[in-house]
Amino acid sequence: MELTTILGIAFGFVVIVAGIMLQGSIIDYWDAASLVIVLGGTLLATIASYSIKDLKSLPKLFKTAFTKHEYDMNGTIAQIIELANIARRDGLLALDNKASEIEDPYMKKGIMLVVDGTDPELIRNIMETELTFIEERHSVGQSMMKSMSAFAPAFGMAGTLIGLISMLKNLNDASTLGQGMATALITTFYGVLFANLCFTPIASKLQSITEREIRYNELILEGLLAIQAGENPRLIEEKLVSFIAKNEKKSGDDETGEGEEI
């Protein structure tokens, strides 16, 4: 599980509840009608905005945001260097045997293109096109979350207007005005809360996951093209290390590759 997402949202609600309790009773901020207007309206507006195919992925989007996604950049670099050593020693065709051992479909596809003797520019075009489609598929999910983060405050405001209209119809009873105003504003509160503590953070998390996946696959692509070009494995390693954030790099000799037989 992705603890940062879970803890961020959970503690966000805890802080809000704690702040409310310091001011009064949490019961004063509960209104079922307001909740129905905000969440129901947001969901229905989202349904109206996207196709059935896109909407089917909505539960998966929440699961993705709360699932941990790790990419072993250092391990992948080591794997690419191993492939580079094999290609340098036995030729590119020798990589055909290693391809069956690789689980990553993107890397396996790239290796097969290299083994088949495909032109480097064509390999880059094919592999980058796949990355583009990955980004486009992921962008739909991010767009849905961003839309929900925009719809929620809008329906919060709509609920507030509904409450105000109802309150103004009862101006002759001054004792109900305060309660009516409070109830009306609660809907706006719900809209802002769900937009900024749920939908927007999840959209940002999905974007971050996509960026990490694309960077990981770009590392693989550059490594395979370097192998095809016959570059020195040590130089390939130095090139690929640049894809890794400083705090993710191995320390000492492991980072530079010193002491490793090339």
Tokens of 68: 């941990």
**Distance (Å, rounded) from C-alpha 216 to C-alpha 248?**
13
Q: What is the pTM of this model?
A: 0.81
Residue 3 has a pLDDT of: 82
The Cβ of residue 66 has, within 10 Å, a number of other Cβ atoms equal to 15
**Distance (Å, rounded) from C-alpha 91 to C-alpha 19?**
66
Q: pLDDT tens per residue, the chain (262 residues)?
A: 778 888 999 999 999 999 988 887 888 888 888 999 999 999 999 999 999 999 999 999 889 888 888 888 999 999 999 999 999 998 998 898 888 888 889 999 999 999 998 999 999 999 999 999 999 999 999 999 999 999 999 999 999 998 888 788 777 776 667 667 777 889 999 999 999 999 999 999 999 999 999 999 999 999 999 999 999 999 999 989 988 865 565 544 444 343 333 3
Query: Contact 188/70 with Cβ under 8 angstroms?
Result: no
Tokens of 155: 């329906």
Residue 206 has a pLDDT of: 93
Helix axes 73-90, 200-228, angle to 10 degrees: 20
Residue 248 has a pLDDT of: 60
Residue at 16: amino acid letter: I
